Structure formats: structure tokens, C-alpha cells
Amino acid sequence: MEWLRLFFLHPVSFYQGAAFPFALLFNYLCIMDSFSIRARYLFLLAGGGALAVAAMGPYAVLVFTPAVCAVALLCSLAPWQVHKWTFCFQMSWQTLCHLGLHYTEYYLHEPPSVRFCITLSSLMLLTQRVTSLSLDICEGKVETASGIIRSRSSLSEHVCMALPYFSYLLFFPALLGGSLCSFRRFQARVQGSRGLYPRHCFWTLSWRGLQILGLECLNVAVSRVVGAGVGLTDCQRFECIYVMWTTAGLFKLTYYSHWILDDSLLHAAGFGSELGQSSGEEEYVPDADIWTLERTHRISVFARKWNQSTALWLRRLVFQNSRAWPLFQTFAFSAWWHGLHPGQVFGFLCWAVMVEADYLIHSFANGFIRSWPMRLFYRTLTWAHTQLIIAYIMLAVEVRRLSSLWLLCNSYNSVFPMVYCILLLLLVKRKHRCN
């Protein structure tokens, strides 16, 4: 059972697994109507606090502090001011924490603490929830909380009024991972009496458990292949393409299994999609759409479906509010949000160029490829090319360091993005000539 040992040796997987009984307990108590709405908020908040302390240790204060400050801003500012100030504070705080990681890795040349890495991951998810909530308030989708702090109510009344916000920002099923859950969906689930009934819960979680089992078995097999072969430092010519593809496959399998585990924890607590949708409640978007990701022949589709809830969040936060170069601004912000490591900056900007090329290439190809055999050949060729470009980007983002990035760029793997870059330049020139 090597897959099981490797899976639960991962710290986040261990803590997510430990949270499952409490998620099931919360769902059961909601079904039974065993405690009040306020008690539900407190249960989720207390669980988040306990999980943060257990997983992050003393670094948990780096998550608690911005959560408290975000609630203070939400409760004191006017609706039209909320998003600007919460966004600036949250991204400044997260950037300072990421700079601490840069200092440890690149200046001290020391491996960062595992607990600190978990904290940074949780902080990135907190940024999603804070900005999602502030946008909802700014757009009038959520009732404004301004004036709570300025009112003359007692401290206990202030805390009770702000409790839903504290609970949302730190609720334990989404603290260490999982799809972005909007505040409206969170509130509807907590205040509603519906839950995931035991029989449905059993089959849903069993199916996800089988998916994780299959992915982890594949992960072990691919790990052995990658471990037995050479790396980017020792590979030669076309051998580097195989090394890149298998290593990226290992990264993808790891992401898929963790996303399904995170999704399962949300479902166990009653925040999943199986319960149907109330009127006005936002749709649940899972992060892992493996079928689409592995069969698409378009880089733009892969970009929209990879970590879906984050892609939608970036679209809403950056893309829809950008007047010039929205695509590049979105990917540049994604690099900032991820920590601005050299490999991440290169990888995300490369991804933006590849998506832009993807739009032009497929628009041009769809205009003159008519026959069925040619379409099949074109789709197969672009599928293989898309998977290799994604593998290239994934390695750039994951290796992060300049030395490893240099090895990747100097290998034969750079041919695949270069082909798309050349086609992009030719098609842009053709487009201007036609105009």
C-alpha cells in the first residue's frame, strides 16, 4: 500500500483527512437541526481555528491577523470603498509573507518550513475569499456590513453581527484547500436545513475515494518511472521531451488527487453540488475537470478548466476590470498571487502568449479545414502540441528557480512554445494586412 503511505505523508492531505469526521458531524447536525444558526457559524469558525493551529503551528497568526483586519475593514467602510482597501491590504500582507519565503530560499539558501508553506497556501485561499466577498459587497450582491463598528452596540453585539464574516473567512472545510465558495452560497448552506443525507453521502464520497485511489496508484507508477530515469540536468536532446512530459504528468496527478480530496471534504460538510441549487444561490464549481483537461486540444480551454474556481475568480477580479491587455494582466496578477518566483513569472507570461496564439491559430484553422479526416488529423496534432506546451509551462512554474528554468529553456522542449510564438507573429501580421 505504498500509494496510501505516500498520500498521507503529504501534510495537507493528512490534515484534510483528519478534518473529515468533523465535516460529517457538522453535516449531520445540520440535517437534524440540532443547533442554531449562530452555533453553526461558531462550529465552522472553531474548527478552522483548531485546524490552522494544528497544521501551521505559530504561523497560524499570519492567517488570523489578515482575517481579523479584513472583517474590520468590511464592517467599517462604505460599500464602494470596501474592495479597494481590502484588496490592497490582503495582497500587501500576502506579498510580505511570500518575500519571507524568497528570503529563506534565495538568500539564506535554506529549505522553508513545511508549516510556513502550508500557511502561505492557506493565505492565498484566504485572499480569494476576502476579495470575492468584497466584490460581492461592492456590487450589491451581499448586504453591506458598513457601520457595525461605528454603531454604539456592545462588543458582544458587534462580534455577533460580524460572526458570519469571520466564519466564512476561516471555515475549516476550505481553510487548506478546495474550490472557492462564495459568501452567498456559504450563508445559504449554513442557514438552510438541507444537508447531504447519509446514503447519498456514502456513495458520493466512496466514488471520490476510488478516484483518489486510482490517481495515487498512477502517481506511484509514474514516480517510479521518473525516479528511474534521468532528469533535466542529464537528459540529451529528444530525451528531454520525455522527461518533461512524465514529470509534468506526475505534477498533474498530484494536483488532481488533492483537488478531489479537497472537494470531498467540502461535500462531506454539505457545501458541495449534490444538494441542488436554491434560487439566487451560486453554482458550485469543482476545481478538477480531468476529462476536459486531458482531452482538450486548446490551450485556452485548458486555462479556463485548470483549477476552475480560481480561473473564474481571476476572470472576475482582473480580466473583467482591465481596460488594456486583460489577458496579460490576468496572468501577470496570477504570477503575483502565486509568489513571483522567477519560474512562475516566466511560466504565467508564457501561458498568456500561448493562449493568445491559441485563439488566432484555431480561428484561422477553422476557416479552411473542411474535410473530416483533416479535422481529425488537426485535432490530434494540436492535442499533442497542447499537452506538451502545458507540460513546459507546468515545469517552469513548479521548478521556480532560475538555474532549473535555464535548463528547461535550453532544452529541445522550448521548440513547442516557439512554434506557437512564430505562428502568433505570422497571424498577427496577416490580420493587420487584411485589416
Q: Note the pLDDT tens digit of each residue in 367-417.
A: 888 888 899 999 999 999 999 999 999 999 998 778 889 999 999 999 999
Q: Residue 1: pLDDT above 50?
A: no
C-alpha to C-alpha distance for 136 and 79, rounded to whole angstroms: 9
Which one of 83, 338, 341, 362 is the catalytic residue? 338
Q: What is the pLDDT of residue 288?
A: 85
Give which of 142, 188, 171 is closest to 281, Cα–Cα: 188
List the alpha helices (DSSP H) in 106-197.
114-138, 155-170, 183-191
Residue-range domain boundaries for the chain: 11-191, 198-434
53-70 residue pLDDT tens: 999 999 999 999 999 999
Mean pLDDT, residues 140-151 taken together: 67
215-232 residue pLDDT tens: 989 988 888 888 777 777
Mean pLDDT, residues 324-331 taken together: 94
C-alpha to C-alpha distance for 329 and 349, rounded to whole angstroms: 9
**To the nearest 10°, the Cα dihedral for 187, 188, 193, 195?**
-100
Which position has the grid cell 532544452? 411
Residue 195: band (very low, low, confident or very high) from pLDDT cuts 50, 70, 90: low
Contact yes or no for 190/151 (Cβ under 8 A) = no
Q: Residue 136: pLDDT above 70?
A: yes
Mean pLDDT, residues 32-55 taken together: 91
The residue count of the chain comes to 435
Residue 387, amino acid? Q
H or E segment and range at residue 293 = helix 290-295
Q: Rounded to a whole number, what is the distance in angstroms from the first to the last CA of the chain?
A: 62
DSSP of 12-60, one letter per residue?
Answer: HHHHHHHHHHHHHHHHHHHHTT-S-HHHHHHHHHHHHHHHHHHHHGGGG
> What's the pTM?
0.92
Query: 338 catalytic, yes or no?
Result: yes
For the chain, percent of residues with pLDDT exceeding 90: 59
Query: 385 catalytic, yes or no?
Result: no
Q: What is the pLDDT of residue 7?
A: 46
User: Per the structure block, which three cell numbers stand in for 308?
Assistant: 476552475
Q: What is the pLDDT of residue 270?
A: 86
Q: Residue 337: pLDDT above 90?
A: yes
CA 392 from centre of chain: 19
Which one of 307, 341, 362, 413 is the catalytic residue? 307
